[in-house]
Amino acid sequence: MRKFRIGISSCLLGNRVRYNGDDKFDADLVARLGGMVEWFPVCPETECGLPTPRKPIQAVQTDAGIRLLEVDGPDDHTEQLRRFCRKRLSELAGKQLDGFILKAKSPSCGVAIPLFDPEGRRIGETSGIFAGVLLETFPELPVAEAESLHAPGRLEQFLEKLKRR
Ligand code: SF4
């Protein structure tokens, strides 16, 4: 049987690319999908040029729209990440991916992340910058957050969607 071609947030595979130099290895998910999958890892934050470790970032509603700002610092990484997302997703368009698994709650990879005002108060939700551009670019692509696939039956449902493509 042909392997599913799945994009994935790189930290879920055990790569130490998180802001604090750690990973978010999802051993159970990787073991369950095992030989069925060819992985296409992406870490938007490191691949766009940010160092590891780095300052954490968050989504902030400003007069100039939603920006990805460092939590404790003045730097704005919105345009750097947007440029990267457009370029990387146009490369991935040629890979004929069957699906994508994202790291939840990440300001880059999460599908629904907290949105703050400039004073640091939580005022709503938005999508992570990579997740948002991914969903806009490939609206038909099955996309799931890794954490959601641990609920009973959810991984099987996700695999069914991949098989129908
Ligand atoms: S940007 Fe995405 S892949 Fe990179 S560390 Fe954050 S959640 Fe993981």
Q: Confirm whether 63 is domain-assigned.
A: no
Please check whether residue 93 lies inside any domain of the structure.
Answer: yes
Evaluate whether residue 64 is within a structural domain.
no
How far lies 136's CA from each of 10, 73, 92, 153, in Å? 20, 30, 14, 27
Which residue in the block uniquely carries the two structure tokens 């990387």? Answer: 88
Whether 37 is in the pocket of ligand 1, judged by its Cβ within 6 Å, is: no
Q: Is residue 81 part of a domain?
A: yes
Residue 70 lies in a domain: no
Which is the closest atom of ligand 1 to the Cα of 11? 8
What does the DSSP assignment read for 35-86? GGEEEEEE-HHHHTT--SS---EEEEEETTEEEEEESSS--B-HHHHHHHHH
Radius of gyration for the chain, computed over Cα atoms and rounded to the nearest angstrom:
16
| Residue 85 located in a structural domain | yes
Give the pLDDT confidence of 11-34 residue by residue, as tens digits.
999 999 999 999 999 999 999 998
| Residue bearing the CA closest to ligand 1, atom 4 | 43
- State the residue range of the domain holding 38: 4-54+77-110+128-163
Does 74 have pLDDT greater than 90? no
The CB-side HSE value for 29 (13 A sphere, CA atoms) comes to: 26
Q: Is any atom of ligand 1 closer than 6 Å to the C-beta of 10? A: yes
Q: How far is the CA of 143 from the centre of ligand 1 (A)?
A: 16
Distance 22 CA to ligand 1 centre (A): 10
For residue 145, the domain's CATH number is: 3.40.50
What is the four-CA torsion angle of 64, 76, 134, 50, rounded to 10 degrees?
Answer: 170
> Is residue 157 situated within a structural domain?
yes
Q: Helix/strand/coil (H, E, C) string of 118-146?
A: CCCCEEEEECCHHHHHHHHHCCCCCEEEH
Provide the mean pLDDT of the chain: 96
How far does the centroid of ligand 1 lie from the alpha carbon of residue 108, in Å? 7
Terminus-to-terminus CA distance in the chain, angstroms?
14
Nearest Cα neighbor of 12 from 21, 25, 22, 27 is 25
Residue 37 lies inside a defined structural domain of this protein? yes
Domain total of the chain: 1
Whether the full predicted model's pTM is greater than 0.75, yes or no, is yes
Q: pLDDT, tens digit, for every residue of 130-151?
A: 999 999 999 999 999 999 999 9
